[in-house]
Amino acid sequence: MGFSASLLTYVLLFAVVYVFYGAYWRLYLSPIAKFPGRKLAALTFWYEFYYDYIRGGLYVYEIEKMHKEFGPIIRINPYELSVNDTDLDFINRLYPSIGSEVDKFWWSAAMFAYKDQTFATISHRLHKARRAAFSKFFSPTYIRRLEPLLKDLVNSMLGKITEGIEAGKAINLQHVYAAFTQDVITEYCFSNNRHVLEEKDFAPHWYEWIQIHCTFTPLIKKFPRLIPLLNKLPDWLVKATNDPLWLIRVQEAEYIRQIRGVIDGGEKDTTSHITIFHEILNEPSLPPSEKTERRMMAEAVAFVGAGTLTSSHMLTLTTYFVLANPVILKNLLTELETAMPDPASEPSQHVFESLPYLNAVMDEGFRLSYGSMHRLSRSHPDESLKFRGWVIPPGTAVATSAYLIHTNPEIFPEPRTFKPERWLNLEPKERQHLRSYLNNFGRGTRQCVGMRLAYAEIYLTLGYLFRRLGNRLKLFDTEYERDIEYVHDYFIPAARKQSRGCRVVEKSGAGSNKC
């Protein structure tokens, strides 16, 4: 009978959170009165929790306001500093590529609940060992080898869009792109294509599930013991009461079955090509403790989440701005018609890499989609960092975010405007310097390992889509502020809850121009 007070508190908290976990995807919590006094930010994590969970991913904007009021370096919680500055040398020292050991801040490492993921690894050395096991899997050589797979999936996606608009339907490109990127990452990494592109309306529940998972990162960060409690619930109860959590379990069970097949080998391994599971298992430098089913499953969850949302967000936002601006669309189509005279042809990625206007459009898409909107916190355990007149002691967590960099008017004048021309007519060194501020994939030793794969799918998607369908598509009931703009920071950015996605239909009379 005798529950302790602390145990009773956790049980009650668990019950409340479980209810919200199932309902939150339908309704964000309403804002409440603003907390008084920003000194709370330096004293407690609750200030951050209020803005990121209660208010719904808004702490990045409070940090931005504090920078405007107090300067380029501020304390945002008891252990962490935020820097907002144009000093590229400092940013590169904060996120070095070589020569320094850099740890992840324990507070931010907890947000996705899977501490065994490479992404969530705190120690520099352990992260390096884990990443080395599969980094070659994302090398240019591997990606070129599987380019036919990417082309097949892009062609399948465009075929589905074409079928839809010819049937008079409004197509939600946010769901289309999320289905495509999920099919790419599950096939490329696991040889386990979910065929989301083939499902009705592109299975929007998968996209919503991943977004929902991200909305709970502030809660998981603050209460890491909740996930072990949720994991103890029986399957029948979860399936009956909590759709998002049930989808998590379905996904995890799917990966565990495949991992067991790879471990057993022979006929039980049903994969059609090498996967990241093979790479981890065959890495001699990793001990057996790093090759467990649970750890490899955690890696798979991370790859699917990151590989689905970041690229699909970038593609959605970029497509919107091209279709919304006739001048941008005309310039892009003119360039693509020259590079791809036959719209039915299938040029390789390298053809699009050399196109200046397409690359300018992509860079603007990267800039305003942010990749990860959340700050990326790093700790230098063995050395101090110098920033202007300050000396930051060893072991101090320091962060900046893509949002703060990408919207800094000193770096990008008119930062809220989609302007491909800002990237044109620059000397090569000037353009490279400007591109160095893009932080979509992070930087340094923890830069996103899937960056080259993301570029490949984005080049092929935008190139093929606009060459074949650019003159046939028009926006339908889509507004930037309501539907497209990313305004919530759940690590991965999210649009407003009222968003209907980026919807397109066929232009009147465009059917006669079919390619």
Q: How far apart are CA 315 and CA 236, in angstroms?
A: 37
Q: Are 501 and 173 in contact (CB under 8 A)?
A: yes
Query: Which residue is listed with tokens 């702490």?
Result: 59
Amino acid letter, 171: I
SS3 call for 507: coil
Q: Would you give the end-to-end CA distance of the chain in angstroms?
A: 73
Bridge partners, residue 376, by sequence: 400
Q: Which stretches of 79-169 are assigned E, i.e. beta strand? A: 80-83, 103-104
The neighbour count for residue 20, using CB atoms within 10 Å, is 13
Radius of gyration of the chain (CA): 23
Q: How far apart are CA 92 and CA 443, in angstroms?
A: 8
Q: Is 448 annotated as a binding residue?
A: yes
Amino acid letter, 462: L
Q: How far apart are CA 402 and CA 486, in angstroms?
A: 12
Q: Which stretches of 384-500 are assigned E, i.e. beta strand? A: 385-387, 390-392, 397-400, 473-475, 486-490, 492-495
User: Which ranges in 223-355 belong to alpha helices (H)?
Assistant: 226-231, 235-241, 243-264, 276-281, 293-324, 326-339, 349-353
With the C-alpha atoms ordered 472, 199, 301, 215, is the resulting torsion angle positive or negative?
Answer: positive
Rounded to 10°, the helix 204-215/173-190 angle is 80
Binding-site residue numbers are 448
Binding-site members for heme are 448
